[in-house]
Amino acid sequence: MTYAPTVSIIIPAHNEAKTIGIVLQGCLHQDYPSDLMEIIVVDDCSNDDTPKVVQQYSRIIYVRNERNLGLAASLNKGIMASRGEIVVTLHADCLPLSEDWLKSLISHFSCGGVGAVSSFLLLERNRLNYIDRSFCHIYVSGWPLEKFGDHDGSCEISFVSNKCDAYRKEILEQVGFFDTQFKVANEDIDLSEKIKRRGYKIILDRRAKVLHLLSYHQRGLKKHFAKAIQYGRPQMIIRRRYGYVVNPCPMISVALIPLVAIAFLGSLFLQSYLLLVSEYSIFAFLSIILLRKRMPDFYVSSKRYMKLRSPLMATLLALPLMVYTYLTWGSSLTTIVAPLLFPLGFLLGRACQRSLNSLRDYRDFLVAMLVVPFSLIWDALYGLSSLAGFARLKKAYAQ
């Protein structure tokens, strides 16, 4: 290896005693000159045995926050204390799967146009409980090792993976590091946009494989649904800065529900068929507006028409429900219920799509059935949290 810059691996940790020892072992066994590599653990005020585990390793630089600062602030603290030309951020539950992991990541920076490189984040799906398996199809925790473990090669992507990425330190200094407004989510999207707008590329290297040790601290339903709220809150900061919404479909679904009141009032003055046409027009208009503001696809080469899947599926599911309601209860009730059917079509369409994908890939009927109700609740919470975040942000800017 001819290109060998100095490297700093930053590991933020909060109550990670179960996994951080394994992760540190994986970092210390990297095939990279030890005099060119440093490992910094930033302990975000853990109250378990994380400090005791880390301090067993003499080569590790240990930094502790006196109070809980959050992910972005902890990463920034580690970056500012680092000396490497390349900074690698690695979560304390993400294990490098080979001794060449670091070398593979670093090799891309020999090209001047690369600003960040992401590892290929995998997880052992078969070691997870059924709840965690179900949520793997609702939001990304990693690519299943059983299916993608043998994938190779590199490609350009729109965003870093957040858990295991490498950056040029000079670029992080130029863009102002991670934004501490993002306490637990979306700091990766914000930083990716800053890097791209400086003219740099972000690369995914599938040779640099990292295993997400989710099976060591499996989540219950409460934690998964809390993730929906955490991910939804900062959406409007991204919208204000970059002009798009990270995940608009749950927002569309929740935002359309107030149309029920409009429909009820409209039913007093308009013919039923005119009201239905009006409702559908509003639904289509809002969907198009929000979906046009959807975030760029993860893979830069993704097809643009993929953005149409959600509104098409919502329409296909909503129309039969409207017809059934019309035939069963009559036109007046249909006009009132119709605005609920469009959001329900959005949420149900996404849930069915996720369920069918899980069934196609793994033939696991129990997981496929669980995905549907979990997805409906997760998206509803995400949408409500996004709208609450919008209201809070608007109030903050007004002040």
What CATH code is carried by the domain that includes residue 130?
3.90.550.10
Enter the tokens of residue 318: 């909503």
Last residue of a domain, one of 218, 244, 272: 218
Nearest residue to 104 (alpha-carbon basis) of 189, 164, 178, 34: 164
DSSP states along 2-21? -----EEEEEEESS-TTTHH
CA-wise closest residue to 164 among 6, 4, 9, 1 = 9
Query: Do 250 and 347 fall within a single domain?
Result: yes
Based on the fold, state whether residues 86 and 48 are members of the same structural domain. yes
Q: Could you tell me the residue range of the domain that residue 348 belongs to?
A: 235-398
In whole angstroms, what separates CA 271 from the centre of its chain?
44
- The verdict on 13 and 123 lying in the same domain is yes
Any domain includes 323: yes
Cite the beta strand spans of the chain per DSSP E. Answer: 7-13, 37-43, 60-64, 86-90, 94-96, 114-123, 143-144, 154-157, 164-168, 201-212
Q: Is residue 79 part of a domain?
A: yes
Do 41 and 189 fall into the same domain?
Answer: yes
- Count how many domains the chain has: 2
Whether residues 205 and 255 share a domain: the answer is: no
Inside any domain, residue 2: no
Residue at a domain's end among 162, 191, 218: 218
In a domain, 242, yes or no: yes
Regarding whether 167 and 313 lie in a shared domain, the answer is no
Q: Which residues contact 372 (CB under 8 A, 6 or more apart)?
A: 348, 351, 352, 354, 355
Nearest CA to 10 among 92, 69, 93, 68? 92
- 139 and 21 belong to one structural domain: yes
Rounded to whole angstroms, the Cα distance separating 9 from 73 reads 16
50 and 188 together in one domain: yes
Nearest to 344 by CA among 314, 374, 383: 314
Q: Which of 318, 308, 90 is nearest to 210 (CA)?
A: 90
334 and 388, same domain (yes or no):
yes
Whether residue 225 is contained in a domain is answered as: no
229 part of a folded domain: no
Q: Which of 218, 246, 281 is the last residue of a domain?
A: 218
Give the contacts of 68 (CB within 8 A, at least 6 positions apart): 14, 44, 45
Residues 6+ apart with CB under 8 A from 6: 36, 37, 38, 83, 84, 85, 86
The CA radius of gyration of the chain, in Å to the nearest whole number, is 23
241 & 345 share domain: yes
Instruction: Please name every residue paired with 95 in a beta bridge, in sequence order, or none if there are none.
Output: 211
Beta bridge partners of 356: none
Question: Most distant CA pair in the chain: distance in Å?
Answer: 79
Residue 212 lies in a domain: yes
Q: Classify 30 as helix, strand or coil.
A: coil
Sign, CA torsion 388/394/398/399: positive
What is residue 175's predicted lDDT score, i.e. its pLDDT? 87
Asked if residue 378 is part of any domain, the answer here is yes
Q: 111 vs 105, 106, 346, CA distance in Å?
A: 12, 10, 43
Residues 158 and 37 in one domain: yes
pLDDT in tens, the chain (399 residues): 577 889 999 999 999 989 999 999 999 999 999 899 999 999 998 888 999 999 898 889 999 998 888 888 899 999 999 999 999 999 999 999 999 999 999 999 888 789 899 999 888 888 888 888 888 888 877 777 777 777 788 888 888 877 899 999 999 998 888 888 877 777 888 888 899 888 899 999 999 999 998 877 777 888 888 888 888 777 777 777 777 766 666 666 665 556 555 555 555 555 555 555 555 565 556 555 555 555 555 544 444 444 555 555 555 655 666 666 556 655 555 555 655 666 666 777 778 888 888 888 888 899 999 999 998 888 888 888 877 776 665 554 444
Q: Express the helix, strand and coil content of the chain in percent, nearest 5 each.
A: 55, 15, 30
So what's the pLDDT on residue 301? 46
Same structural domain, 256 and 209: no
Prediction pTM value: 0.79
